């Protein structure tokens, strides 16, 4: 029993960061000009090209021996990274296959995605529920992995729950696979224009570019319209900032896809958009069921560029291909957005914390636009007075929407608790636990950020709430909580 009077069982599962899980990323030395007037990249390329051919074979053999077993498709990775810098080589230069790959190796480095931490998970039912024993259900767990430079990426684990909510995690190997990033098939002009307004770039220059575009346009269409600005004689100094914002917005919407034969635990969504250069934080996945019974998965996450944050949306049907897009509107202005798992009264519904302190509820006819927002709940208990936020998408029960929360109190300690919202009108709060549901114990207090428990979403399995949570921005534990007991406690704690 904890202070809430509820039985909370911590399972024996603990997930800790594994620095051996690495990806091979492009390594592009700084483009600064050094004495002599040449860029570092150019000088490095000259040095590599001066290696005698027998030496190339010897050095490359060593690279293969040391690194090929750590990556899937290692030579293909090196070829792609060679292609990134091939423009530094004089046209017509003949290179052997080995020298090309060696050049690619010099412009590659390993990045340990979990080198610093692994925390803040969310859990959803997996798309594939076949080949299971009676009573079993397969789940997908997303995790926030943090590596060098405190850059956050999104990883995955999988496993099963049996009828008694015993958790079995699937084995995890050390290899990771990178994704292929592409532009979306098309952009919606109205959505694009609305986001430009939010970004402060709704001016005559942007209007002239948009006027040349169809209601749905491709990236090539956009680049052609931007090129016409210079052809029409508009000074570069005047158009520079607007063009920059337009390109940043376009590249913040993309598709990232993995090899179909890769394992879920091998896939890592690494930051690729300009607004997430310093990380993709705290993805809250939800299995969304439309009114017609069709299903897809959404996740909201926080993009961080080192200075500002931007809420973004992930969509997938199979956890192989992911569409990344910007979120728009008055409610999409801060961290901690969490989508309800179905429409409510015909509209999408989203938890929000647009002012960084209070819980809000937003509704919309479009999953990417959020303007209709109202305050839902303010911090009121000693353990949440600093701020309150959600711990993932609401969970539907017969008694109402179960909302897991985190509250920040004295000594900046994060504890977990819960609210109960009316099923038909989630703006109405039915109950609020008077004390924390879960607080850091002595084994969970130490880490990169001490005294923190945080989750991005749990799963109801029968009568049990299966709640994975991060502790102290270091690792992950899992707790089991009786749903009937929790609901009874919430209903007796009416606000």
Tell me what pLDDT residue 113 has: 97
Q: What values do phi and psi take at 125, rounded to 5?
A: -65, 140
229 domain-assigned: yes
* 364 and 323 together in one domain: yes
Percentage of the chain lying above the pLDDT 70 cut: 96
- CA distance linking residue 471 with residue 476, whole number of Å: 6
* 374 and 232 together in one domain: no
Q: Does the structure show a pLDDT above 90 at 39?
A: no
Q: Specify the long-range contacts of residues 105-109, CB closer than 8 Å, at least 24 apart.
A: 105/60, 105/63, 105/67, 105/78, 105/81, 106/27, 106/44, 106/48, 107/26, 107/27, 107/28, 107/81, 107/82, 108/24, 108/25, 108/26, 108/27, 108/77, 108/78, 108/81, 109/24, 109/25, 109/27
* 285 and 197 together in one domain: no
Domain end position, chosen among 84, 112, 140: 112
Pair 193, 210: CB distance under 8 Å: yes
3-state secondary structure of 231: helix
401 domain-assigned: yes
1 domain-assigned: no
3-state secondary structure of 70: helix
Among 449, 423, 418, residue whose Cα is nearest residue 4: 418
- CA distance linking residue 265 with residue 257, whole number of Å: 14
3 domain-assigned: no
In 149-274, DSSP assigns E strands to 152-161, 167-169, 180-182, 187-188, 216-217, 254-257, 268-269
* 229 and 311 together in one domain: no
Domain end position, chosen among 94, 112, 130: 112
* 73 and 191 together in one domain: no
| Number of independent structural domains in the chain | 3
193 domain-assigned: yes
Banded model confidence at residue 330, pLDDT cuts 50, 70, 90: confident
Q: Does the structure show a pLDDT above 50 at 295?
A: yes
Q: Does the structure show a pLDDT above 90 at 457?
A: yes
Separation in Å, CA 387 to CA 68, 129, 355, 449, 450: 47, 38, 10, 17, 17
Domain end position, chosen among 251, 268, 283: 251
Tell me what pLDDT residue 28 has: 86
Q: Does the structure show a pLDDT above 50 at 34?
A: no
* From 25-34, 269-278, 410-419, 428-437, the region with the lowest mean pLDDT: 25-34
pLDDT tens-digit map of 358-395: 999 999 999 999 999 999 999 999 999 999 999 999 99
- Express the helix, strand and coil content of the chain in percent, nearest 5 each: 25, 35, 40
452 domain-assigned: yes
Q: Does the structure show a pLDDT above 70 at 283?
A: yes
* 347 and 222 together in one domain: no
345 domain-assigned: yes
* 409 and 305 together in one domain: yes
Average pLDDT estimate for 114-120: 97
* 96 and 142 together in one domain: no
Question: How many helices and strands, by DSSP H and E, does the chain display?
Answer: 9, 31
* 416 and 436 together in one domain: yes
2 domain-assigned: no
* 396 and 271 together in one domain: yes
CATH number at residue 420: 2.115.10.20
Burial of residue 285 (number of CB atoms within 10 Å: 0-12, 13-18, 19+):
buried
* 365 and 332 together in one domain: yes
Structural domain of 431: 8-19+113-181+253-491
Tell me what pLDDT residue 170 has: 97
* 72 and 177 together in one domain: no
């Amino acid at each position: 029993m904890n202070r809430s009077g509820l039985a909370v069982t911590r399972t024996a599962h603990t997930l800790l960061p594994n620095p051996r899980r690495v990806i091979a990323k492009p390594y592009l030395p700084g483009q600064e000009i050094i004495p002599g007037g040449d860029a570092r990249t150019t000088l490095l390329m000259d040095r590599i090209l001066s290696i005698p051919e027998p030496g190339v074979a010897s050095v490359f053999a060593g690279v293969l021996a040391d690194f090929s077993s750590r990556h899937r498709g290692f030579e293909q990775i090196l070829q792609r990274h060679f292609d990134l810098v091939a423009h530094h080589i004089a046209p017509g230069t003949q290179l052997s296959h080995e020298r090309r790959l060696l050049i690619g190796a010099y412009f590659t480095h390993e990045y340990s995605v979990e080198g610093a931490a692994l925390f803040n998970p969310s859990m959803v039912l997996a798309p594939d529920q076949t080949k299971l024993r009676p009573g079993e259900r397969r789940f997908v767990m997303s995790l926030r992995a943090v590596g060098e430079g405190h850059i956050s990426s999104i990883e995955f684990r999988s496993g099963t729950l049996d009828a008694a909510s015993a958790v079995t995690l699937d084995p995890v190997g050390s290899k990771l696979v990178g994704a292929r990033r592409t532009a979306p098939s098309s952009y919606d002009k109205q959505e694009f224009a609305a986001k430009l307004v939010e970004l402060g770039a709704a001016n005559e220059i942007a209007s002239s570019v948009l006027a040349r575009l169809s209601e749905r346009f491709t990236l090539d269409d956009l680049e052609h319209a931007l090129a016409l600005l210079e052809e029409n004689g508009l000074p570069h100094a005047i158009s520079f900032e607007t063009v920059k914002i337009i390109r940043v917005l376009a590249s913040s919407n993309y598709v990232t896809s993995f090899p179909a034969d890769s394992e879920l635990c091998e896939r890592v969504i690494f930051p690729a958009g300009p607004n997430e250069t310093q990380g993709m934080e705290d993805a809250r996945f939800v299995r969304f069921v439309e009114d017609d019974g069709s299903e897809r998965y959404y996740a909201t996450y926080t993009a961080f560029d080192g200075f500002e944050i931007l809420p973004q949306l992930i969509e997938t049907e199979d956890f192989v291909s992911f569409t990344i897009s910007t979120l728009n509107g008055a409610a999409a202005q801060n961290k901690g957005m969490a989508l309800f798992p179905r429409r409510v009264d015909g509209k999408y519904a989203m938890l929000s914390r647009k002012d960084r302190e209070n819980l809000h509820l937003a509704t919309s006819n479009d999953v990417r636009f959020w303007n209709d927002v109202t305050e839902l709940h303010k911090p009121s208990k000693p353990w949440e007075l600093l701020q309150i936020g959600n711990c993932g998408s609401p969970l539907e029960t017969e008694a109402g929407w179960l909302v897991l929360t985190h509250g920040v109190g004295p000594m900046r300690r994060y504890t977990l608790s819960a609210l109960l919202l009316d099923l038909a009108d989630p703006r109405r709060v039915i109950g609020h636990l008077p004390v924390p549901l879960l607080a850091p114990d002595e084994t969970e207090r130490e880490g990169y950020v001490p005294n923190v428990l945080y989750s991005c979403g749990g799963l109801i399995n029968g009568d049990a709430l299966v709640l994975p949570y991060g502790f102290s921005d270091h690792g992950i534990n899992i707790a089991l909580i009786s749903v009937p007991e929790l609901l009874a406690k919430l209903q007796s704690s009416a606000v």
